[in-house]
């Protein structure tokens, strides 16, 4: 099943088809660290084909006779794709590893480590993505767009897949936050997974709302007094107090403005950025206190509003154009491709 992409920015764009075959979308995790070779946890370097993260969890749980909560993953990977990633399980499972492999899952290597792999234990992902059926002579346009992105970056939106089919995962998250449903309403076997996913989807929806509002007001590339800025080199956060000082630092790519992942530990902006974020939250029908109910899962954080893909290139391929790039943890390849494509699949 191919995926259609709609453009998120104005300007001339290509047409083409994405994810016609799983092999058209290749993702390889960039780990935060490699297993040490010793410890009570077994790290599995797994390649999966056309399989969702939830399906992979279920398969490993059944084949290794493990509760899902004993399986560690650093990040959730696309379904319609070839993906390679580390997964951790207890070392006691080593004798049962032959049960892991099937037509969709391949075990490439194993190693031991001292701790379980947890969400976020990755630097990012590298992508090789083939867009098929592009018009002839489209490569120069794709390369011009790539150059523009390299200079100016792109909005660091959460991709639509974050929100579930027709947004149902995000809707579940909002209902949990408002109290219209409770974790007991979720299937017991998937409760922990769905709870984390739904609440994160609600936070992501609000972030996208703030990003869109800032873009409407011309604030995406303009530092505002009261912004929470992130230092590129360290990831540290600080309050922007003098725009005349901070705007040049942003333009040198030393810092970037951030948006909210709402929660009780989130660093708050001041001034106009605070007013905008409070407005988006109020329009959703939520209050800051409602995130405290699930504070372990919605503790709060800041996320850069702009993104610069690493080593972005567009290359000729006999079946279309091959895009290669790297992204930090939490960024979406489809958001990058949105800048190149319109009406994909047409």
Is residue 227 part of the annotated active site? The answer reads: no
Catalytic residue (one of 24, 50, 54, 78): 78
Supply the pLDDT for residue 164.
Answer: 85
* Contacts made by residues 186-193, CB under 8 angstroms, sequence distance 24+: 189/68, 190/54, 190/68, 192/68, 192/69, 193/54, 193/57, 193/68
Task: For the chain, list the domains and their CATH numbers.
Answer: 154-307 (3.30.2340.10)
Whole-number pLDDT of residue 1: 37
Mean pLDDT by 10 residues, the chain (346 residues): 38 87 96 94 97 93 94 90 97 94 96 93 95 92 94 93 89 96 91 92 97 95 97 95 97 96 97 97 95 94 96 96 95 92 51
Tokens for 232?
A: 């590129």
List of residues 6+ apart from 261 with CB closer than 8 A: 203, 204, 206, 207, 300, 301, 302, 303
pLDDT at 4: 35
The answer to whether 178 touches 286, Cβ cutoff 8 Å, is yes
């Amino acid at each position: 099943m191919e995926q259609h992409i709609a453009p998120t920015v104005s300007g001339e764009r290509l047409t083409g088809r994405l994810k016609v075959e799983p092999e058209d979308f290749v993702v390889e995790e960039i780990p935060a660290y490699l297993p040490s070779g010793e410890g009570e946890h077994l790290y599995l370097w797994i390649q999966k084909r056309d399989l969702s993260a939830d399906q992979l969890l279920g398969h490993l749980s059944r084949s290794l006779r493990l509760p899902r909560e004993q399986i560690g993953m650093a990040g959730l990977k696309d379904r319609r794709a070839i993906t390679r990633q580390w997964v951790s399980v207890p070392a006691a499972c080593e004798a049962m590893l032959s049960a892991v492999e099937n037509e969709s899952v391949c075990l490439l290597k194993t190693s031991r480590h001292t701790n379980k792999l947890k969400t976020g234990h990755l630097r990012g992902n590298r992508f090789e993505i083939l867009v098929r059926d592009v018009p002839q002579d489209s490569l120069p346009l794709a390369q011009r767009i790539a150059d523009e992105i390299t200079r100016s970056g792109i909005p660091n939106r959460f991709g639509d897949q974050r929100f579930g089919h027709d947004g149902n995962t995000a809707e579940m998250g909002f209902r949990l936050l408002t109290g219209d449903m409770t974790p007991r309403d979720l299937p017991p076997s998937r409760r922990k997974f769905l709870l984390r996913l739904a609440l994160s989807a609600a936070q992501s929806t609000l972030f996208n709302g703030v990003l869109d509002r800032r873009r409407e007001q011309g604030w995406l590339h303009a530092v505002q007094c009261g912004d929470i800025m992130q230092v590129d080199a360290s990831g540290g956060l600080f309050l922007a107090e003098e725009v005349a000082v901070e705007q040049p630092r942003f333009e040198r790519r030393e810092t970037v403005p951030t948006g909210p992942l709402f929660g009780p530990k989130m660093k708050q902006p001041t001034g106009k950025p605070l007013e905008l974020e409070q407005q988006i939250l109020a329009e959703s029908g939520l209050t800051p206190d409602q995130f405290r109910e699930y504070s372990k899962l919605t503790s709060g954080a800041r996320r850069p509003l702009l993104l610069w893909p690493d080593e972005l290139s567009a290359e000729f391929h006999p079946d279309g154009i091959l895009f290669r790039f790297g992204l930090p943890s939490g960024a979406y390849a489809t958001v990058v491709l949105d800048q190149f494509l319109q009406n994909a699949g047409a």
